Amino acid sequence: MTTSTNLPGRQQVPNLSEVPGSILGRDSAVTKVLLRRSAAARRARYSTIKIWVGAICAGVVVVPVALAQLLPLPDPIIGQLSESSLPPLSAGHLFGTDPNGRDLLSRVLHGGQTSLVIGVLAIFVSGLVGIVAGAAAGYFGGWVDTIVSRLLEAQMSLPLLLMLLLVVALFGPSIPVITLVIAFAQWPEPARITRALVLVEREKPYVAAARVLGLHRISIITRHLIPNILQQVLVVVLLLLAQAVLLESALSFLGAGVQRPYPTWGGIISDGRELFVTGKWWLVTIPGVVIALLVVGVNLVGDGLRDRVRRAKGEES
């Protein structure tokens, strides 16, 4: 039985089911089950699942890494040779120890701080550079666009890891150098997406209105264009975090990372790889799983957010 909605203080809304000829007067063939199983609903559900699973995977890694200084962990650099190569779940060593008797959990968490700090700083720098360069290229066009676009293409044609190794070899491995190198490697991605989005946005009436009102071009970019595209660009930048962590680990693995004895994920895996076949599986497997969890988690969150942003944009239009 259908009823009219008669709320106090509101205009009375007619019950459409009682309007002659209205289809609302009968039950629709599109049932709730069908709606739930529609492609749109499935995508919405998947994006929520992705965000939750991703947040859990990344959180399992990021939270302990962030709290490593507060947790009651042994020193990651100093170990006891008498406790050399203990397997996981040994007394006092949840993840076991390395051949130098250092607690692997402590090394993984402290090493994660290095990797994450480098990753976050790198995406901050690359995001900033990418957004500024991409927005300028998209809005101004002409020679600015030509220069930025050719730079993007030139850099993307270079073999990334080899270029990184070359720069680290030239300037020496340190956190600032590695951060800048990774940031430099990653700026094309946000720059490309920013340029593409700005090209679309600059043709919209609100930008024309701002121009007519006499706003400076820089103000139009910073106060109107970038806030409108930032959400989508940030999703791409977030996805770069996983790539930055992987790049840092790759550099450390190849011996071009932060100098010994400070731990990094790539360095721990590199040290443990020759011992893997001798039965000391935990030296490679545990840091490998941690990297995988973080990368999968961040990618899932980014992917889920991207789906949401797309849907929101679609609904807006």
Residues near other proteins (CB under 8 A) are: 1, 17, 25-27, 29, 33-34, 37, 77-79, 81-82, 84, 99-101, 255, 259-261, 271, 273-280
Nearer to other proteins, 31 or 222 (CB): 31
Neighbouring-strand partners of residue 13? 5
Residue number, 49 or 208, with CB nearest to other proteins: 49
Q: How far apart are CA 109 and CA 186, in angstroms?
A: 25
Q: DSSP character for 83?
A: G
Shortest distance (Å) from residue 269 CB to other proteins? 12
103/68 Cα distance (integer angstroms): 13
As measured in angstroms, the least distance from the Cβ of 277 to other proteins is 4
Report CA torsion sign: 189, 192, 193, 194: positive
Nearest to 139 by CA among 89, 192, 90, 199: 199
How near is the Cβ of 92 to other proteins at its closest, in Å?
A: 17
Nearer to other proteins (CB atom), residue 59 or residue 99: 99
Identify which of residues 1 and 212 has a Cβ nearer to other proteins in the complex. 1
Q: By C-beta, is 137 or 256 nearer to other proteins?
A: 256
Question: Considering only CA atoms, which of 121, 150, 123, 149 is closest in space to residue 134?
Answer: 149
Report the first-to-last Cα separation within the chain, whole angstroms: 35
Burial class (CB in 10 A: 0-12, 13-18, 19+), 198: buried
In whole angstroms, how close is the CB of 148 to other proteins at the nearest point? 35
CA separation for the pair 218, 195 (Å, rounded): 15
Q: How far is the CB of 249 from other proteins (least distance, A)?
A: 17
Question: Smaller CB distance to other proteins: residue 34 or 147?
Answer: 34
Residue 90 forms beta bridges with which residues?
A: 93
Shortest Å, Cβ 54 to other proteins: 22
CB of 254 to other proteins, least distance (A): 9
Name the residue nearer to other proteins (CB basis): 17 or 155.
17
DSSP symbols for 145-170: HHHHHHHHHHHHTS-HHHHHHHHHHH
Question: Can you tell me whether residue 296 is helix, strand or coil?
Answer: helix
| Number of residues in the chain | 317
